[in-house]
Structure 1
Amino acid sequence: MSGTGDGEEEYRGPVTVVVDGAEVFVDAHLAGHFDPLTGTYRWVGRLAPAPEVSARFAAGRRAVLLRTPDGHEGRGELLEADLWGGHRVRGSGRPPFAVPELRADEL
C-alpha cells in the first residue's frame, strides 16, 4: 500500500471477492480517499478477470465483499466489465485495505 501523492491511499495485490456466497481469489488495484463533503470514505478499483465473477455479474449480482490477506474487509458494488474482462468495483465506508488513522487536529 502506498499513497499516490494526491491524498489517496491505494492497494495492489490479492483479494478475496465474495459475491453471491462464492469466494473468488483475484488480483486487484484499489484506491480511495476521505470525502469531507459527505463525511465518508469512498473507494474504487479494478478486479483482474475472473470467469466466476463475470458469471455472477451477468446473473445480476452486484453486492460484493472484498477481503485482503491482512483481514481488512469492505462492502461495495460490482460494476461493468472493462475492456480486458475484469470488473470495476466501488464502495463507501470502510475500505478493504488499511488506511492511516487521522487525528482530529489533522482533519
Structure 2
Amino acid sequence: MSEPTAHHHDDEDTGAYRGPADVTVGAAHATVDIQLSGHFDPILGRHVWRGRLRGLAAALPAGTPLGSGTDVTITVTTDDGELTATARITEVDLWGSHMVDGTSTPPYRTISDDASDD
C-alpha cells in the first residue's frame, strides 16, 4: 500500500483535497487516502462536493456496513486544524474505492473560505 500523500488544492476555482483522512462509519474508524473535489452551485446556493475513499473496506473491521446510502464522517487535518464533514456512500467504483457525495460543508478549504480571510 502506498503512503498517503500530503494535502493540496488541485483546482484554484473550486478547491479540492487529496491525501490522508480519518473516516468514521458508525463506531468503526480508519485512516485512508481520499480524493475530494467540488464547486459552488449557484442554483443550490451551496458548495457541492464528491470524492473517492481508497481502501476503506480493507481498513475497517470486517462486517462494517459500507453499502450505498451509508453515512460517513471525514476528518482532514490541515495546518489550520481539523475540518470535519459528513458524506454518503453512493457506489463502489471498478477499483474498489467507495465514492461519496458531500452532505455538508466539505472537509477542505474552499475558495470562498480563502476569500473570507482577506
TM-score, scaled relative to structure 1: 0.81
> Residue in 2 aligned with 1:13?
19
Q: CA deviation at 1:61?
A: 6.4
Residue 65 (structure 2) aligned to one of 53, 56, 64: 56
1:36-58 CA distances to partner (integer Å, 9 max, x unpaired)? 11111111000112322884214
Which residue pairs with 1:42 in the alignment? Answer: 48
Match of 2:9 among 2, 6, 9: 2
Partner of 1:27: 33
What pairs up with 1:86-101 in 2 under 5 angstroms? 86-100=97-111, 101=113
Residues 49 and 84 in structure 1, CA contact (< 8 A), matched pair in contact too: no
Gap runs ≥5 in structure 2: 1-7
Structure 2 length-normalised TM: 0.74
CA drift at 1:22: 1.3
1:66 aligns with 2:77: no
RMSD after superposition:
2.2
User: 1:13-37, CA deviations, whole angstroms, 9 ceiling, x for partnerless residues?
Assistant: 0011111121111000100111111
